[in-house]
Each structure stands twice: as C-alpha cells, then as structure tokens.
Amino acid sequence: MKAAVFSYPQGIRIVDVPVPQIGRGEVLLRVRAASLCGTDLRIARRGHGSIPQGVQRILGHEVVGEIVEVGEGVTDLAEGMLVLVAPNYGCGKCRFCVAGAQHHCPSGKALGITEDGGFAEYMRVPEEAVRQGNVFPLPPEADPVMFSFAEALACVVHGFLPLSVSFRDTVLIYGAGPIGLMFLELARLSGAREIWMADISPSRLERAAARGARTIVVGERKVKDVLRDVDVVIVAAPAPDAQREALEVAGVFGRINFFGGLPPGTPEVPLATNLIHYKELLVTGTTRSNNFHVRAALDLLVRQLDLSYLVSHTLPLEAIEEGLRLMEGKDALKVVLIP
C-alpha cells in the first residue's frame, strides 16, 4: 500500500509498504479521509521527540476509515462500519487513565505520532486502543472528510468547556484558523452575546465575519484599543503578545485559555500577574483531548454543527507535501487527504 512515511531528518516521503497484519483484538481500516493538522506540519518540518532518527513513522491522527478486517475477540465492531479513530490511549490503569485523562498517561501512546497512523491506504488499530474505546462507529451516511475533524474539534471542546461560556459573555478569540473557527462555532452554540476574532490575516477574518464574528486585524489595530472587559479570551495562536494582551483585555472575573502552545525555544513570556490577582482572572491551558471530548465532538458533528465550510482542500495522499505547503501559506483551512 502507499503510505506517507516520516523520518528525521529526511521528512515525509510516499513509499510502498506492506498492508499491516492485524492480531487478536485489533482492527484494520481502509482509510477514507485523514486531515492534516498543525501537529503534522510541525513534525514534518522539525521532527518529534518520540520519532528518533532511524525510525519510520506513518503520520496522521485525524482519521476516518472503514473497517475491512476484525481481529479475533473483537465483538462490538464489524467489517463495513465507518469509524473515527481517536489517537490518544494510555495504560488504562494509572491515575490519569482512570480519571479519563489518557492523554496525560506517562506511558500514553498516540496513533500517527508514537505509532503508525492514517496517512496510508490502510491502518491497523492496536488492541489497547480498540479495548479502550478509541474506535467510534459513525452513522453510515457520515461524510468521512468532515468527520475527520472530530479529533481537532475534540481538542477545542476540551479547551472550551472549562471557560463556562454563557449568553452573558463577550468572547474574544485570537487566531482565525480552523481551530479558532471551531471555537467560534462553540461560542455561537453557547449563545455568547458578542464574539470577536483577532488575526493577522484579513482573508481568515473574512470567513470569521461570515460566521458572525466581529473582527480585528492585528497589525492594523491593537486589540486592547478596541476591546476591554472581555469575559472570555481564547488564545488559539502561538503568539506570546496575544497571551500578554489577553490579561489586559479580560474584565473582572474573566476566564482565559492559552490554548495554543508556543514553539520550543520561545523565550519565557513575562505576564502581569497583578492583573490576574486584582481582576480575579482564571487562566488555564489545555492540550490534546481524551475520549470524553471525542465523544462530545462526534455528538456535535452528528446533531448540531456543520463544519463543511472548513474544508479548503481535499488532496490525494501523494500530494501531502503540497498540503503541508498550503498550510504554511496560512490561507488554507482544513486540508484533507483521501488515500
């Protein structure tokens, strides 16, 4: 089968590899759609701590596939089912796993990062992942392309829930990429009174405006010159300036999520902690997602959210490098590979 294999420092190459063999408790998928995300771009360009030199890894962790083979002992999944695979699974026993936070398991694994993923024609789902419920059956009529966003949406659900957004809130989102737009959709669903989005790209903000957001082009205006007393600030961009400014524009009792991690090597960001103290701000960060968030994301996609407008490109697997370049260009939204 064809697969997009990453190795360091070679980068990503399309190669022919054997179709994976499955064992007891495992399933084999024919991949129907696998979307590219910022994590894939970072790995492709800079590598990843869990992919040492000499290791060949098939990336791809936002995957929808059709089950084509079921291993012995698997009773609740069957050939022909359309499924989403959630990437993160843990040991199942540590204090994080038993709390449902398998994404913090010290021996946690992630399909498409620490194990082979879905940028290939076929994908094996390991026994532990099947057993821990990482394979989610989808309605047969579900669009594989849109449902491949469920993992990204799950991370957004994870970042959104602690902010308790309600109809009384003004919400500000830094970063109008696909993740920022997903936050916008959740803020709309929650009835937020006013939603603002700030980004350096006017074309990205046009899409946000079309979805009901008021917009600020960073660089033309400072957010803090336009907005004050914001109830909820989400920093969905790897921007130290936005983190600093978030504390200034937040109002009393404001809630802030530093959702976007900063690239390694970024100098430590000095923050005006007295703003946190005197305004009684709640500042948090969230990272990745667990199966609780994936389930919530799937529910949203089935019942309440149409994110098809986020698909900017669908490409064959062989065009993965073009897809990565489109993402670097910042004009693309979600780029989805169809192996």
Binding site for Zn ion (CB under 5 A): 37, 39, 90-91, 94, 97, 105
User: Closest distance between Zn ion and the C-beta of residue 104, in Å?
Assistant: 8
Q: Which residues pair with 137 in a beta bridge?
A: 83
Phi/psi for 63 (5° steps) reads -125, 130
78-96 in b/e burial notation, b at 16+ Cβ within 10 A? eeebbbbbbbbbbbeebeb
Query: Looking at beta carbons only, is 22 or 37 nearer to Zn ion?
Result: 37
315 token code pair: 């490409």
Query: Looking at beta carbons only, is 67 or 105 nearer to Zn ion?
Result: 105
Query: Looking at beta carbons only, is 254 or 260 nearer to Zn ion?
Result: 260
Contacts of 273 (CB under 8 A, 6+ apart): none
Is 231:163 a contact under the CB 8 Å cutoff? Answer: no
User: Closest distance between Zn ion and the C-beta of residue 327, in Å?
Assistant: 12
CA neighbor of 136 nearest in space, from 69, 71, 59, 77? 77
Pairwise CA distance, residues 214 & 237, whole Å: 18
CA neighbor of 149 nearest in space, from 1, 326, 331, 314? 314
213 token code pair: 């957001």
User: Closest distance between Zn ion and the C-beta of residue 39, in Å?
Assistant: 5
Pairwise CA distance, residues 297 & 291, whole Å: 10
Query: Looking at beta carbons only, is 94 or 275 nearer to Zn ion?
Result: 94
Q: Which residues pair with 152 in a beta bridge?
A: none
Contacts of 289 (CB under 8 A, 6+ apart): 86, 88, 103, 151, 154, 155, 157, 158, 297
How many residues are present in the chain? Answer: 339
Q: Which residues pair with 316 in a beta bridge?
A: 338
User: Closest distance between Zn ion and the C-beta of residue 107, in Å?
Assistant: 6
Q: Classify 207 as helix, strand or coil.
A: helix
User: Closest distance between Zn ion and the C-beta of residue 215, in Å?
Assistant: 25
Q: Classify 34 as helix, strand or coil.
A: strand
Query: Looking at beta carbons only, is 39 or 286 nearer to Zn ion?
Result: 39
User: Closest distance between Zn ion and the C-beta of residue 98, in Å?
Assistant: 8
Query: Looking at beta carbons only, is 59 or 197 nearer to Zn ion?
Result: 59
Query: Looking at beta carbons only, is 39 or 257 nearer to Zn ion?
Result: 39
Query: Looking at beta carbons only, is 116 or 231 nearer to Zn ion?
Result: 116
Strands 194-199 and 214-217: parallel
Q: Classify 296 as helix, strand or coil.
A: helix
User: Closest distance between Zn ion and the C-beta of residue 83, in Å?
Assistant: 17
User: Closest distance between Zn ion and the C-beta of residue 185, in Å?
Assistant: 17
Query: Looking at beta carbons only, is 71 or 90 nearer to Zn ion?
Result: 90
User: Closest distance between Zn ion and the C-beta of residue 250, in Å?
Assistant: 27
